C-alpha cells in the first residue's frame, strides 16, 4: 500500500497516512507484516512489479497480457522503466520477466488523497499460464461488503521500514467496518476504499499494488495506511467492487485482453 504501506497540517497527514516507500523507487508498501512463507503455486496470480529490474510493488494477473496494480506504483514512472516478474516465489529471481508496454492510470487518481488508486498495465507479450501463473477472477459485482476475511500477499517489508523477504509472504486479514475505519482516518475513506486488519498482520512498504483475495476472487488492491500492523490503523485497499473502479477494470479487459 503506500504502504507501500501511502504540506503544516497536510505534511503531518502525509507522514501518518502515506503510500508505503522504498528509497530510490516509488513509495510503496514493503512487505507483509506478521505473515508466513508461501508458494507462488498457492497464489499464482501474484506478480512482482519491477522498477529498473528491482521489486517495487505487487500486482495481479487479470488477463494474459494485463496486470492490475496501484496507481501510486506507476503514475510517476515511464513504462520503459517497468517490467513484471511472474511465476516465482522468490523476489527478483526465477520465473519469467516481461516488459510493460503501456500503462493506464485511473484518470481520477489523486496522489494526495490516494483516491482512485488503480492502474492497469498492458504487457509487451503474453504470460504463459501454468500452475505458477494464473488469471485471478474479479469479485462478483453483487458481493456485499462486511464481515469478510481475505488474504494479502507480497514481498513487502516485514515491519515498518524493515527488511524485505526473499520468499513470498501471505497474511490473513479481516474486514473492518467502513464507519469504524472512517473514524480512524477521519475524512479520508472514500467509496473507492475498503479496510482490512488483523492483530499483528498487515501489508507494508513494497506490498502496494498487490492483491487482496477472498475466496477465489480479488476484492482489493493494496493502497495505503498509517504504519504497518499498528493495531489502531487498518490497511486501506482500493475497492474493486466499487462501480467506478470495476467499470474501469472491465473496460480495459474488454479492450486489450488477449485470449
User: Which is higher by pLDDT, 23 or 52?
Assistant: 52
Do 166 and 88 lie in one domain? The reply is no
SS3 for the chain is CCCCCCCCHHHHHHHHCECCCECCECCCECCCECCEECCHHHCCCEEEEEECCEEEEEEEEEECCEEEECHHHHCCCCHHHEEEEECCCECCCCCEEEEEEEEEECCCCECCCCECCCEEEEECCCCCCECCECCCEECCCCCCCCCCEEEEEECCCCCCCCCCCCECEEEEEEECCHHHHHHHCCCCCCCCEEEEEECCEECCECCCCCEEEECCEEEEEEEEECCCCCCCCCEEEEECCCHHHHHHHHHHHHHHCCC
Chain segment 214-245, per-residue pLDDT in tens? 999 999 999 998 876 577 889 999 999 999 99
Res 203 pLDDT > 90: no
Are residues 130 and 252 both part of a single domain? yes
Residue 61 in this model has a pLDDT that exceeds 70: yes
Q: Are 141 and 236 members of one domain? A: yes
Q: Tell me which residue has cell 494485463.
A: 66
Domain presence at residue 233? yes
Distance of CA 237 to the CA centre of its chain: 7
Query: 109 and 188 share a domain?
Result: no
Q: Output the CA–CA distances (angstroms, integers) from residue 150 to 117, 185, 237, in the order listed.
A: 19, 21, 12
Q: Which of 29, 115, 117, 207 is catalytic?
A: 117
> pLDDT grade, residue 62 (50/70/90)?
very high
What does the pLDDT look like over 3-15, one tens digit per residue? 433 322 222 323 3
Residues 232 and 148 in one domain: yes
State the catalytic residue, choosing from 89, 119, 203, 208. 208
What integer is the mean pLDDT of 44-52?
A: 97
Quote the number of domains for the chain: 2
Is 8 one of the annotated active-site residues of the chain? no
Band the pLDDT of 205: cuts 50, 70, 90: low
Active site residue 117: yes
Give residue 15's pLDDT. Answer: 30
- Same-domain pairing of 251 and 124: yes
Same domain for 145 and 102, yes or no, is no
For residues 28-46, average pLDDT: 75
| Residue 179 pLDDT greater than 70, yes or no | yes
168 and 113, same structural domain? no
Q: Indicate whether 214 belongs to any domain.
A: yes
Asked if residue 114 is part of any domain, the answer here is yes
In a domain, residue 21? The reply is: no
Same domain, 147 and 231: yes
Does any domain span residue 36?
no
Residue 2 belongs to some domain of the structure? no
Give the domain range for residue 192.
136-242
The pLDDT assigned to 207 comes to 81
Residues 159 and 191 in one domain: yes
112-124 pLDDT, tens digit per residue, is 999 999 999 999 9
Which one of 72, 106, 239, 252 is the catalytic residue?
72
| 169 to 48, 156, 225: CA distances (angstroms) | 12, 8, 19
Is it the case that residue 180 has pLDDT exceeding 80?
A: yes
If asked whether residues 48 and 127 sit together in one domain, one would say yes
Q: How many Cβ atoms sit within 10 Å of the Cβ of residue 218?
A: 24
* Residue range 128-151, pLDDT digits in tens: 999 999 999 999 998 999 999 999
In a domain, 196, yes or no: yes
Average pLDDT value for the chain: 85
One domain for residues 145 and 237: yes
**Domain CATH number, residue 123:** 2.40.10.10
pTM equals 0.87
Amino acid at each position: 500500500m503506500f504502504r507501500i504501506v501511502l504540506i503544516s497540517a497536510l505534511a503531518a497527514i502525509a507522514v501518518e497516512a502515506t503510500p508505503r516507500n522504498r528509497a530510490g523507487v516509488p513509495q510503496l508498501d514493503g512487505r507483509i507484516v506478521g505473515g508466513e512463507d508461501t508458494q507462488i503455486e498457492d497464489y499464482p496470480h501474484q506478480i512482482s512489479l519491477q522498477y529498473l529490474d528491482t521489486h517495487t510493488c505487487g500486482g495481479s494477473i487479470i488477463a494474459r497480457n494485463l496486470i492490475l496494480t496501484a496507481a501510486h506504483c506507476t503514475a510517476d514512472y515511464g513504462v520503459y522503466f517497468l517490467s513484471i516478474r511472474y511465476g516465482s516465489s522468490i523476489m527478483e529471481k526465477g520465473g519469467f520477466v516481461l516488459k510493460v508496454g503501456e500503462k493506464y492510470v485511473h484518470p481520477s487518481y489523486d496522489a494526495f488523497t490516494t483516491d482512485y488508486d488503480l492502474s492497469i498495465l498492458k504487457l509487451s507479450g503474453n504470460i504463459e499460464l501454468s500452475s505458477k501463473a494464473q488469471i485471478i477472477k474479479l469479485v462478483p459485482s453483487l458481493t456485499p461488503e462486511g464481515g469478510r476475511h481475505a488474504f494479502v500477499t507480497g514481498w513487502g517489508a516485514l515491519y515498518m521500514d524493515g527488511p524485505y523477504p526473499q520468499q513470498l509472504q501471505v497474511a490473513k486479514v479481516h474486514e473492518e467496518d467502513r464507519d469504524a475505519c472512517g473514524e480512524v482516518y477521519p475524512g479520508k475513506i472514500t467509496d473507492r476504499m475498503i479496510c482490512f486488519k488483523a492483530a499483528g498482520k498487515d501489508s507494508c512498504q513494497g506490498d502496494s499494488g498487490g492483491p487482496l483475495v477472498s475466496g477465489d476472487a480479488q476484492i482489493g488492491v493494496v493502497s495505503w495506511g498509517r504504519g504497518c500492523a499498528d493495531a489502531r490503523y487498518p490497511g486501506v485497499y482500493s475497492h474493486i467492487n466499487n462501480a467506478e473502479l470495476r467499470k474501469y477494470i472491465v473496460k480495459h479487459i474488454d479492450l486489450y485482453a488477449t485470449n
